[in-house]
Amino acid sequence: MGVNEQVLRMGPRKALVGIVTPAVEAAGAGERPTVVVLNSGIIHRVGANRMSVQLCRALAGQGFHAVRFDLSGIGDSEPREDGLALLDGTLADIREALDTLEATRGCKRFVLVGLCSGADHAVVYAGRDPRVVGLVLLDPSIPHTPRYYLNHYARRATRLSSWMNIARGKHPLWQALGQRMGGGPAAEEAEEGARADLDTPQARAFLSQAYLAAQATGNHFLVVLTAEREDYHNYREQLLDAFPEVPFGDRLQLEYWEDTDHTFTPEGSRGRVVERIQVWLLAAIPG
């Protein structure tokens, strides 16, 4: 496949460094959305295991323009100079990147792709910009649900150490159940690396509003949850249970992948997710 990637410096200061992978078959690409891949954490734009490069090149081969870029202060992009708070700065970065793509390449519609923090940024941004028509969210942040805890502790119950803790009355299940019943200390403190802050009413409301807004502006969603993120999510419908007020309808394709790690490290996992995104784009997003 012949790809001819180009550097595009984006934003009013040209401080955001992006790589454009033009559609190999340009015919039809004008009607298709441009796919923009966001950073995962502080890994630069090539992505974990170079996945973003692989994805962009595969999509270009399918007739999509694809772009990967670094948010301010990550990878090769310069830090912002306007003192915006972190999330506000990130949202401004995305807007500036899309503005540049619209002004210089004529891109009118976009699909945002994000893994982990990138997924969160994508969904939070989407409801604020009608140019975004689709979201690929790989392991987005989802608050814990009662079923999550049932799954979680059912699995842990098979471990000897867990039985020992129950015998000693220290098992986190009791603490968690106690909290769910309205009492007891924050059970999540006992959990290794759990993102307890996602379970606060404020965090839930913030994420719920983000999904509602993204849904209301007509976005299509592909959400893939990986089993390795068991401390965050552990079943397919957790997204629906966490946000029952969001009427996803048939615009959501929701998947839970067993035996898959968070960054799709094996070539097979990576190939599978790249292919799934390609197929979903062609099927879900009207040309």
Kindly tell me which residue out of 40, 72, 219, 260 binds another protein, with binding defined by CB under 8 A: 40
Residue 266 binds another protein, judged by CB under 8 A = yes
CB 43, min distance to another protein, A = 4
Sorted by sequence, the CB contacts under 8 Å of residue 41 that are 6+ apart come out as 116, 117
CB 173, min distance to another protein, A = 25
As a whole number of angstroms, the distance between CA 42 and CA 37 comes to 14
Kindly tell me which residue out of 78, 102, 228, 231 binds another protein, with binding defined by CB under 8 A: 78
What would the x/- binding string for another protein be over residues 3 to 32, using CB under 8 A? xxxxx-x-------x-x-------------
Handedness of CA 10, 94, 135, 258 (dihedral sign): positive
Give 11 or 134: the residue with its C-beta nearer to another protein. 11
Stretch that binds another protein, among 75-83, 140-148, 200-208, 223-231 (CB under 8 A): 75-83
Tell which residue, 84, 61, 62, has the closest CA to residue 73.
84
Stretch that binds another protein, among 72-80, 147-155, 225-233, 243-251 (CB under 8 A): 72-80
Stretch that binds another protein, among 2-10, 92-100, 246-254, 279-287 (CB under 8 A): 2-10
Tokens of 72: 């301010």
Residue 79 binds another protein, judged by CB under 8 A = no
Contacts of 235-242 with CB under 8 Å at 24 or more apart are 235/147, 235/148, 235/151, 237/147, 238/142, 238/145, 238/147, 238/148, 239/140, 239/142, 241/145, 241/146, 241/147, 242/142, 242/143, 242/144, 242/145, 242/204, 242/207
Give 62 or 219: the residue with its C-beta nearer to another protein. 62
Tell which residue, 107, 68, 70, has the closest CA to residue 90.
70
Applying CB under 8 A, the residues found at the interface with another protein are 3-7, 9, 17, 19, 40-46, 48-50, 53, 75-76, 78, 193, 263, 265-268, 270
